[in-house]
């Protein structure tokens, strides 16, 4: 769901689901590069301390930028970080059309937060991706992307195998 929340300074995308896993298992799945690579296709590398850098490895491209940082890390309840830099190498690796890539690269940096709420025999995961202006190409991309990423994460934790998208 896309909403306009003045507290987040712009538009945001919010998605929630329930996963048969402990908060600790969910935290590991969000922060361990071997997990993130399996369900997302992205290896996220960091020590996951507030202020630390995050390196993204996706489609054979490494995206390292000092502005890609952990904003909050309260294991196993909340993780937040700035979104990755949209580089020409990233655009080429994921096959983004030139005009779409240019629009994404021209935008300011957004932020994503994962809230993990323990429940009996499961956890609620809420993903909030925020900091978008009206007409954002990145917002359009994450609106299409997050439901698949979260579904694959849920499936991996519950069955041992991620979803495979063609």
Read off the pLDDT of each residue in 117-127 and give the average, rounded to a whole number. Answer: 97
Q: 116-121: which pairs have CB atoms within 8 A and are 24 or more residues apart?
A: 116/23, 116/26, 116/27, 116/76, 116/77, 116/78, 116/79, 117/23, 117/77, 118/22, 118/23, 119/18, 121/20
Q: What's the predicted TM-score (pTM) here?
A: 0.91
Residue 86: is its pLDDT beyond 60? yes
% of the chain with per-residue pLDDT over 90: 78
Residue 71: is its pLDDT beyond 80? yes
């Amino acid at each position: 769901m896309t909403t306009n929340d003045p507290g987040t300074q712009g538009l945001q995308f919010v998605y929630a689901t329930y996963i048969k896993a402990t908060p600790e298992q969910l935290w590991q799945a969000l922060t361990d590069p071997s997990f993130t690579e399996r369900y997302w296709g992205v290896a996220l590398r960091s020590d996951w301390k507030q202020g630390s850098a995050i390196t993204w490895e996706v489609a054979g491209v490494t995206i390292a930028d000092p502005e890609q940082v952990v904003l909050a890390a309260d294991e196993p309840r909340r993780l937040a970080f700035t979104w990755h830099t949209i580089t020409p190498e990233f655009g080429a690796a994921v096959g983004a059309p030139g005009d779409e890539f240019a629009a994404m690269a021209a935008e300011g940096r957004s932020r994503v937060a994962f809230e993990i709420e323990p429940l009996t025999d499961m956890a609620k995961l809420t993903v909030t991706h925020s900091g978008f202006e009206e007409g954002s190409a990145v917002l359009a991309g994450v609106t299409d992307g997050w439901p698949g990423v979260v579904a694959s994460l849920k499936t991996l934790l519950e069955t041992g195998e991620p979803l495979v998208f063609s």
